[in-house]
Amino acid sequence: MSAVPATVVQMAFTVEMITFDTADARALAAWWAAQLGGTVRDDHDGWYVMVVPPEGGPWLGFQKVTHPTPGKNRVHIDLRPQDPAGAIERLVSNGATFVAEHEAGPVAWTVLADPDGNQFCVGRG
């Protein structure tokens, strides 16, 4: 009996949106829009709200749920600002919470959490 060669089908994907569960989709979308300089779009009666970043890239979606998942989120956003220290200071003054700082060789980042507790990283090097 001969082996049947495997066929690999490649699909190209584009990351269109990253979606967060939240108790208040409008409030969290407004917070992220303000931090990224983005625009709130497509508010579907407050149950699903989208934010468009100013320079392209994936949209952020905010979906109203009764019970957001507790604990550390398994997917997060990595931000790379031109002025990391200034960006971190601004984010914290606007309601983000400091979580931790990390270094791995030449790479360093700060972990923050948005007002709903969703963690995200700000690159520092």
Q: What is the pLDDT along the chain (125 residues), one digit of tens a residue?
A: 556 666 666 667 777 899 999 999 999 999 999 999 999 998 888 899 999 999 888 999 999 998 877 777 878 899 989 899 999 999 999 999 999 999 988 889 999 999 999 999 999 87
Q: How far is Cα 90 from Cα 107, in angstroms, rounded to an integer?
A: 21
Helices (H), the chain: 25-36, 84-93
CA angle in degrees (0–180, nearest 5) for 117-49-31: 45
Classified by CATH at the fold level, domain 71-125 comes out as 2,3-Dihydroxybiphenyl 1,2-Dioxygenase; domain 1 (3.10.180)
Q: Which residues pair with 100 in a beta bridge?
A: 111
Give the domain ranges of the chain.
Answer: 16-68, 71-125
Instruction: Report DSSP state, residue 101.
Output: E
What pLDDT score was predicted for residue 5?
Answer: 62
Q: How far is Cα 49 from Cα 33, in angstroms, rounded to an integer?
A: 11
Q: How far is Cα 30 from Cα 20, in angstroms, rounded to an integer?
A: 13
Domains 16-68 and 71-125 equal at CATH topology level = no
> Does 16-68 carry CATH code 3.30.720.120?
yes
